[in-house]
Amino acid sequence: MNNLTGLIIAFVYIFSLIGIAEGLRRWQGLTSAFTRKVVHIGVGMMIWFVPFLFTSPWPFVLASAFFAVLNFLDWKYGFFAAMSSSDRANLGTVYFPIAAATVTLIFWDQPLLMVAALMPLTWGDGLAPVIGKAYGRHPYTIGSTTRTLEGSTGFFLAAFIATWLALWLMPPPPELTLVAALLPALVVSLATTLTEAVSPWGLDNLTITAVAVVLLLLLF
């Protein structure tokens, strides 16, 4: 696909997600904490299509840089209520496109590792606070951050399933069967769950991805 066409599709997709999230917030009365995660997961899932939208990683890296700047301005001035956080110290939306650009550059020639590296952040980190808020009954505190066992369990399960499917379904290299993908998915999910538990709020968008990248490089 032409890189310009890929960029147009990427921008339309992301801004459409933000618009849908804002509509859910306004018309369905959903909280910004929830709609923020809708955008988080939706944007993260775009990595599945990046190898088919672009002929090199650089157009996506440029798009990621644009959204890192836009998200910083949104954090500072509050353009998009659907993406706002109650924690003003949380720069997670700025770190997310940086993480996506990093895995794209490192694993461009190995699409399944590219996708797998971002799945713990996309699904694990995306669902953990939602599950923790809805079902969390057993909180724990590490440093200045409090999480719940239920939320961390949700992180692990979501990260494991998404990483496993990425390692199995995306085109090689390397080529993995459904069973062969189980062990690396388990290792990455366990490590990123522990990483999320000890990371300061917001920085986990970087630390989770860094751990996933290092482990996938070691494993493959």
Band of residue 87 on the pLDDT scale cut at 50, 70, 90: low
Question: What pLDDT is recorded for position 142?
Answer: 85
Q: Rounded to 5 degrees, what are φ and ψ at 213?
A: -65, -50
Question: What pLDDT is recorded for position 91?
Answer: 85
79 pLDDT above the threshold of 90:
no
Band of residue 89 on the pLDDT scale cut at 50, 70, 90: low
Do residues 84 and 37 touch, judged by C-beta distance below 8 A?
no
Question: What pLDDT is recorded for position 78?
Answer: 82
DSSP assignment letter at 175: P
* Burial group, residue 129, by CB count within 10 angstroms (0-12, 13-18, 19+): buried
Do residues 51 and 100 touch, judged by C-beta distance below 8 A?
no
Question: Picking from 84-88, 95-99, 142-146, which range would have the lowest pLDDT averaged per residue?
Answer: 84-88
* Burial group, residue 77, by CB count within 10 angstroms (0-12, 13-18, 19+): exposed
Task: Find, among 62, 66, 122, the residue nearest to 92 by Cα.
Answer: 122
**Span 6-19, average pLDDT:** 96
Band of residue 85 on the pLDDT scale cut at 50, 70, 90: low
86 pLDDT above the threshold of 80:
no
List, as one string, the DSSP characters of 100-152.
HHHHHHHTTT-HHHHHHHHHIIIIIHHHHHHHHHHH--SEEEETTEEEEHHHH
Band of residue 16 on the pLDDT scale cut at 50, 70, 90: very high
**Span 61-69, average pLDDT:** 97
